[in-house]
Amino acid sequence: MKFNTKAIHGGQEHDKAYGAVMPPIYQTSTYAQSTPGGHKGYEYSRTHNPTRHALESAFASIENGNFGLAFGSGLAAIDAVIKLLKPGDEVISTNDLYGGSFRLFTKIFQDFGIKFHFVGMESISNIEACVNTNTKLIWVETPTNPMMNIIDIVAVSKVAKKHNITLAVDNTFATPYLQLPLDLGADIVMHSATKYLGGHSDVVMGALVVKDKNLADKLYFIQNASGAVCGPQDSFLVLRGIKTLHVRMQRHCENGKAVAEYLVKHPKIEKVYWPGFENHPNHDIAKTQMKDFGGMISFTTKGNNYKEAIKTIENLKVFTLAESLGGVESLAGHPASMTHASIPKEEREKTGVVDSLIRLSVGIEAIEDLIADLEQALK
Ligand SMILES: *Cc1c(COP(=O)(O)O)cnc(C)c1O
């Protein structure tokens, strides 16, 4: 099945009771049993829920995996992956990554005796330099947030396989429409389904997808034992969102390209970070591992002035100043004071998150209105 068909039908069966085309919202915590243990596959909704199950099957289908798991947030999904580890284990992670992932790693799991190395993964030798016998997980985010660096998943997976290390990829920015990490050698794909998969800024949710049954069983155990699951109503909403993922992504990519090309020519702009530019340092890798370049763009204004960046964002009218990304509406954010405020200033400036950096999640509105909005805000 092609991706566009999978987005709509992947992993889905019509409702067995009445043939409902969309799975019903099974808003229930428990299920009647005829005799102790005599149930129809569902006992308790932390463990299983039919609406969540339909969504988890859709996750698996669109990511070319065999098993999908849904969580109450993206961070809950990451939390479950790190719980595969034990004290003394080491993780090699992207250095330019979602601020909340950095906070979870350094402020929670480091205290449990897990060691994290943050490295620039554009150069594979930086990863190899950190590998030792305790290395159990490589955590990749590509494109990175907010600097839009591209990491070569196939190259990282070769290092991971050689040393028998699990490779996880946060695929939130690219989505499976653009990039399929499991096909490129990753063991685990993670999503903040809050973003493009949900697509309408109305749900917070996380997802994991794997191919391997043994790994899936361990993660299902953690999902049930730790209990960070999502509810049936939210499962329904994200399942509905996925059905239009391909058409939304197509427009996000078109609009993203137009905005990037407009900004790069603007006299007030210092630099535009978007992997679609031929002079982007990893454009060639982006071209091979992604189908298109997405709707996420970051830029800096000339003079690197904090106040001016804030003013520009405040002037925007069609773009909404807000955290998050990946919804149908365009959003603008200021990473240094918002999503990346939990990363110390020296750390974030090392990776390029300077005071004038603005991040755009380009939505699917009319492109003329988006460009006009940027034009007036930059004035
Ligand atoms: C938002 C985000 C997360 C965290 O997901 P939540 O759903 O907010 O918990 C993780 N990674 C990336 C790349 C994100 O954008």
The string of pLDDT tens digits covering residues 19-31 is 999 999 999 999 9
Which of 15, 46, 218, 271 is catalytic? The answer is: 46
Give 150-202 pLDDT, tens digit per residue. 999 999 999 999 999 999 999 999 999 999 999 999 999 999 999 999 999 99
340 conformational bin, left if phi > 0, alpha if psi -120 to 50, beta if neither: alpha
What pLDDT is stored for residue 306 in this prediction?
Answer: 86
What pLDDT is stored for residue 367 in this prediction?
Answer: 98
The first and second tokens of residue 317, run together, are: 């009218």
| 170 catalytic residue (yes or no) | yes
Give 196-222 pLDDT, tens digit per residue. 999 999 999 999 999 999 999 999 999
Question: Which ligand 1 atom is at minimum distance from the Cα of 75?
Answer: 9
What pLDDT is stored for residue 163 in this prediction?
Answer: 98
Which of 79, 96, 152, 170 is catalytic? The answer is: 170
| 273 catalytic residue (yes or no) | no
Residue 8 has pLDDT above 90, yes or no: yes
Residues 281-298, mean pLDDT to the nearest whole number: 97
What is the average pLDDT score of the chain?
A: 96
What pLDDT is stored for residue 289 in this prediction?
Answer: 97
What pLDDT is stored for residue 96 in this prediction?
Answer: 85
Residues 247-265, mean pLDDT to the nearest whole number: 98
Mutate to test the pocket of ligand 1, among 195, 331, 338 (most ligand atoms within 8 A of CB): 195
What pLDDT is stored for residue 339 in this prediction?
Answer: 80
Taking CA atoms only, the protein residue closest to ligand 1 atom 8 is: 74
> Residues, the chain, total?
379
Which residue ranges form the domains of the chain, and what is each CATH number?
3-242 (3.40.640.10), 245-378 (3.90.1150.10)
Q: Which of 349, 269, 362 is nearest to 308 (CA)?
A: 269
What pLDDT is stored for residue 14 in this prediction?
Answer: 87
What pLDDT is stored for residue 194 in this prediction?
Answer: 98
What pLDDT is stored for residue 231 in this prediction?
Answer: 98
Question: Which ligand 1 atom is at minimum distance from the Cα of 193?
Answer: 7
What pLDDT is stored for residue 354 in this prediction?
Answer: 93
Give 68-123 pLDDT, tens digit per residue. 999 999 999 999 999 999 999 999 999 888 889 999 999 999 999 999 999 999 99
Mutate to test the pocket of ligand 1, among 81, 139, 151, 192 (most ligand atoms within 8 A of CB): 192
What pLDDT is stored for residue 340 in this prediction?
Answer: 80
What pLDDT is stored for residue 188 in this prediction?
Answer: 99
Q: Which residues of 71-83 are buried (b: 16+ CB within 10 A; e: fewer)?
A: bbbbbbbbbbbbb
Residues 34-60, mean pLDDT to the nearest whole number: 95
Which residues touch 67 (CB under 8 Å, ≥6 apart)? 56, 60, 209, 210, 211, 213, 216, 219, 220
Q: Which of 64, 67, 100, 27 is nearest to 342 (CA)?
A: 100
Please state, in angstroms and rounded to a whole number, the distance separating the CA atoms of residues 8 and 370: 29
Q: Which of 252, 192, 223 is nearest to 83 (CA)?
A: 223
Q: How far is the CA of 191 from the centre of ligand 1 (A)?
A: 7
Residues with CB under 6 A from ligand 1: 73-75, 98, 100-101, 141, 145, 170, 172-173, 192, 194-195, 204, 206
| 317 catalytic residue (yes or no) | no
Taking CA atoms only, the protein residue closest to ligand 1 atom 7 is: 74
The first and second tokens of residue 34, run together, are: 């005829």
Q: Of 9-18, 135-144, 254-263, which range is least confident?
A: 9-18
Question: Which ligand 1 atom is at minimum distance from the Cα of 173?
Answer: 13
Give 130-147 pLDDT, tens digit per residue. 999 999 999 999 999 889
Taking CA atoms only, the protein residue closest to ligand 1 atom 9 is: 74
| 248 catalytic residue (yes or no) | no
DSSP annotation string for 132-198: -TTEEEEEEESS-TTT-----HHHHHHHHHHTT-EEEEE-TTTHHHH--GGGGT-SEEEEETTTTTT
Number of Cβ within 10 Å of residue 125's Cβ equals 8
What pLDDT is stored for residue 350 in this prediction?
Answer: 84
Give 304-360 pLDDT, tens digit per residue. 888 889 999 999 999 999 989 999 999 999 998 888 887 788 888 888 999 999 999
Which of 6, 79, 98, 196 is catalytic? The answer is: 98
